Amino acid sequence: MDDDLEPLEVGDGIQRFLRHREPSVRKSTLQNARTRLRFFREWCEERDIENLNHLTGRDLADFVAWRRGDIAALTLQKQLSTIREALRYWADIVGVRDGLAEKLHAPELPDGAESRDVHLDADRAQDILEYLQEHHYASRDHVVMLILWRTAMRRSAFRSLDIRDLRPDDNALVLEHRPEEGTKLKNGEDGERWVYLGPHWFQAIEDYLDNPDRYDRTDDHGRKPLVTTKFGRPTGDTIYKWVNRLTHPCRIGGCPHDADPSDPSTCGALGRHAEASKCPSARSPHAVRRGSITYHLNQEVSPEIVSERCDVSLEVLYEHYDVRTDQEKMTVRKQQLEQF
């Protein structure tokens, strides 16, 4: 397989990537990339990897494990995004195998790893869903957003869904822990559950299955993923990028940060080599989960029901996911008390 590649020494590959990025990013961004790739080079030297041609998915998994012990999970995710970008560039210049970047998987963030303030506001979520309903009905984007927002499920749970997990008679989805088949739930079998969507939202998923733009794929375990890419089941990193892109405010309105869409230099999230996560208003799947849980609570869904529906203990729910203001909490109590 390496016969089709052109030899690329690790240091040379890094310098080529940095020169490639230099014209399109700020100096601080370039310096961050240089620092992150320095750790990657150190690891390559420890493993006697001199030629990038020889990198494999297993090597990348070893690198993640090597780096994970030294930094926080959120920092690791940011560092891996730079290395993933470099891998795509090296593939373009025939230095590593095509698709290798998609084999660099970031570990899922633990509950509460992000700031409590980072969440998707309910009004923004509604605007995004209305836009997708009107302009991209039953598309992959539509299904991704509606499932994550309506159910508040984790990224790992979302990617575990197969077509067979649909329950049309109940307008529901079934989540199962299948580690031997390539998908896990965070809390193992304790995280298995049925999740109600409702007929309106469930219909969009069924229509997505008939969408001619959907990729009909079977994974390596003979399973048929519900949401697919052209390569099959999406990775966690792919889902992260989808959500970052879908939550860009300029997708459905003007930029609140005064960036000029015609001038990529005004925003790191614009242009050919942009990273969606650089938009200050972009949100991660974890932030969508936090916003959705808060929305459930504001809609007077009891914390006990939210706990079961979203697979989160009450203690963690209150500590890391409930971002309601004191006034919002009072309003919910008031609405319930007025029923007496």
Q: What is the mean pLDDT of residues 244-256?
A: 78
Higher per-residue confidence, 329 vs 256: 329
258-273: pLDDT as tens digits: 666 566 566 666 655 5
Q: Which residue has the tokens 């575990």?
A: 160
pLDDT above 80: residue 21:
yes
Domain 2-103: which CATH number of 1.10.150.130, 1.10.3210.10, 3.90.400.10, 1.10.10.10: 1.10.150.130
Residues 6+ away with beta carbon under 8 Å from 153 = 147, 175, 195, 289, 310, 311
For the chain, give every domain's residue range: 2-103, 122-247
Which superfamily does CATH assign the domain made up of 122-247 to?
A: Intergrase catalytic core (1.10.443.10)
H or E element in which residue 172 lies: strand 172-175
* Confidence category of residue 56, pLDDT binned at 50, 70, 90: very high
d(CA 217, CA 230): 8
- What per-residue confidence (pLDDT) applies to 107? 73
d(CA 228, CA 242): 12
* Confidence category of residue 1, pLDDT binned at 50, 70, 90: very low
d(CA 204, CA 146): 9
Query: Side-chain half-sphere of 168: how many Cα atoms within 13 Å?
Result: 8
pLDDT above 60: residue 115:
no
Q: Which range has the worst mean pLDDT, 13-27, 35-49, 102-116? A: 102-116
Tokens of 1: 């397989």
- What per-residue confidence (pLDDT) applies to 331? 86
207-247: pLDDT as tens digits: 999 999 999 999 999 999 999 999 999 988 889 889 988 99
Residues 6+ away with beta carbon under 8 Å from 2 = 53, 54
